Amino acid sequence: MLQMIVSGVALGAIYGLIALGIVMVFKATGILNFAHGEAAMLSAFVAYTLFKLGLPLWAVVPLTLIFGAALGMAIERFIIRRFIGKALLSSAICTLGLFLVFGDLAIWVWGKDTQELPSIFPSAPIDIGGVIVSGLDLGIVAVCATLAALLFAFFRFTRLGIAMQATMENPTAARLMGIPIKRIYALAWALSHVIAATAGLLIAPLTFVHFSMMQHALHFAFAAAVLGGIGSMPGALLGGVIIGVTSNLTGAYVSSAWKDAVPFIVMLVILIVRPHGLLARAQVKKV
């Protein structure tokens, strides 16, 4: 059972990372990014290609992250920017369109075959206090925790991070205070795509690299974002872990058919009982 919990935490951490990227972009620019999972998928494929070209893993990882950042910035600059501040419908449909385009793009470039990307972490099982944990799971949790800590430090202690938070709270006030919000938008999208690339790299050893590797995870990630509170970044991570663990336990002890229904059920319950999620505060719309 502990085994299930630990691997649930690891998987959940990845869902949480994806959710974090979605929430970040939603908070900063008010846009729901349906294509976030596909961006992670593309990053995983890019990593695969770089690896296939002979680059060592320690070079592949940063290059992939850079690809993520570039992709995020390009999307924001050329497509998304004109929808910021407009109704949710237009931008959401736009990201939906990107979701479709990225999917077929992957098939076009890399075909439909499943590819393998070696894990950064040794998959040998490690014994921790009597519990056998896979090295991969441990590595995933370690990376996510580190990333979370880095992000926390960024938002708390750096000027740029604080500026970004200010923009998320009140873009008009931020602009009036001299914060270059266009650059903040670009930064938010770049950062969230770096997070997506990280998620892609982490999940690749578990799901292997293929064009539909992220579709399952995306649904879990959205549920995690809602659970944690669509306005809360730490909530997204927490939500992911909770959903990861719950779904794993359900799969093991109830039935594997219900495993996939867990995020949806959790999400519905939260929306009925506490729509602003676990960690976010209830927002009052200014009239």
Partner 1 sequence: MTVMEQANPALAAQGTAPLLSIRNVRMAFGGIVAVQDVGFDVMPGTVHALIGPNGAGKTTMLNCISRFYTPQQGSMRLATPSGEVELLGCKAHQVARLGIARTFQNLELFAELTVFDNVLIARSIAMRATLAEALLGLPRQRREERAEREHVEKLLEQLGLQRHAHAVVRDLPYGTQKLVELARAMALEPKLMLLDEPAAGMNNREIDALGDTLRRLQVSTRATLLLIEHSMPLVMSISDTITVMHNGAFLAQGTPRDIESHPAVIEAYLGGGKSGKRR
Partner 2 sequence: MTQVFDRFPWLGPLLFVLAFVLAPLVPGGYVLYIFTLVIIYTLASFGTNILTGYTNLISMAGAVFFGIGAYGSAILTTHFGVPLVLSMFLAAGIATVVGLLLALPVLRLEEVFLAIATLGFVMISVEIAKSSGELSGGENGMGAPGPVLFGWELDERAYHLFVAVVLAGALWVARNLARSHFGRGFLAIKGSDTAARALGLNTTALKLVAFGVCAFYTGLSGALYAPLVRFIDPSLFSIMVSISFVSMVIVGGLGSILGSVLGAVFVIGAPQLLTYLGFDQFQRALYGVAMILALMFLPDGLASLFTRKRLPAADAAEGGVAK
Which residues contact partner 1 (rule: CB under 8 A)? 281, 284-285, 287
Contact 18, 240 (CB under 8 A): yes
Contact 42, 106 (CB under 8 A): yes
CB 285, min distance to partner 1, A: 8
CB 269, min distance to partner 2, A: 9
Contacts of 237 (CB under 8 A, 6+ apart): 13, 16, 17, 19, 20, 144, 148, 228
Phi, psi dihedrals of residue 133, rounded to the nearest 5°: -120, 140
CB 231, min distance to partner 1, A: 13
- Residue 114's binding partner among partner 1, partner 2, none (Cβ under 5 to 8 angstroms by kind) is none
- Closest to partner 2 by CB, 93 vs 160, is 93
- Closest to partner 2 by CB, 231 vs 234, is 231
**Cα separation values, 74 from 27, 70, 185, 189, 196, Å:** 19, 6, 12, 9, 15
- Pairwise CA distance, residues 248 & 254, whole Å: 10
- Closest to partner 1 by CB, 109 vs 173, is 173
The total of other beta-carbon atoms located within 10 Å of residue 169's CB is 11
What are the residues binding partner 2 (CB under 8 A)? 26, 32, 34, 79, 82-83, 87-90, 92-94, 96-101, 103-105, 107-108, 215, 219, 222-223, 225-226, 230, 257, 260-261, 263-264, 267-268, 271-272, 275, 285, 287
CB 88, min distance to partner 1, A: 17
- Closest to partner 2 by CB, 95 vs 167, is 95
CB 284, min distance to partner 1, A: 6
Place of tokens 């205070």: 177
- Pairwise CA distance, residues 266 & 255, whole Å: 16
- Closest to partner 2 by CB, 59 vs 89, is 89
